Amino acid sequence: MTMPPALLYAAEHAKGFMPAQEGLALYEAARTYGSRGPICEIGTYCGKSAIYLGAAAREAGSVVVTVDHHRGSEEIQPGWAHHDPTLVDLRFGKMDSLPTFRATIAAAGLEDEVIAIVGHSDRVAKLWTTPLGMLFIDGGHSEEPVTRDYEGWAPHVMPGGALVFHDIYPDPADGGQAPYRVYLRALESGAFAEVGVTGSLRVLERVADGI
């Protein structure tokens, strides 16, 4: 089954950084693993990838929980290459992607499938108890946040569920190395086995305990 054209159009035209080919691979993974349990996305920004996930959740009879403080990761702050000045809340002088995210999900008609939690992922993880069919880590890309995301959330992936990473670049010339190092850590743990590679997207299936 292919992604519904209206949702594919919405995803491709939403604000964000997910290439279409990788977005479709994310959709396919979520459609497969979403039938096993809820999907959790760490780092949702303006909702582009959440459309791919929400479309899959609808087909799988699942839901997507997005976790993001919506104040922006390091690489989208003022002075950085991915900064978008239209997302600055001038009242507080801070980034705020939440209004754009809400409008994106509403326009796509996915408000029943996509549930937003606004907060820092490590704090939310301490309250989380539900086993996950799929976890998608795409939050802050420096060492500390990606490590916190992995340590806080990967233990919640159920056996037979999936852990998905974005922006995995084995060659430092292509991109930052923190997500790659944590991805290697997941593989080296023996708890996950790689089952899919599309561009910088990596899909790992949980095969054992030991995170």
Q: Bridge-partner residues for 174, per DSSP?
A: none
Torsion (CA) 33, 38, 42, 47 in degrees, nearest 10: 90
Q: Bridge-partner residues for 114, per DSSP?
A: 64
Nearest-angstrom CA–CA distance, 150 and 168: 14
Q: Contact, 141 vs 169, CB < 8 A?
A: no
- Per-residue 3-state assignment (H helix, E strand, C coil) for 86-97: HHEECCCCEECC
Active site residues: 141
Question: What stretches of the chain show up as alpha helix (H) in DSSP?
Answer: 5-13, 20-33, 48-60, 98-108, 121-125, 143-153, 178-188
Q: Contact, 114 vs 66, CB < 8 A?
A: yes
Rounded to whole angstroms, what are the CA distances from 146 to 43, 107, 136, 177, 211? 10, 30, 11, 11, 15
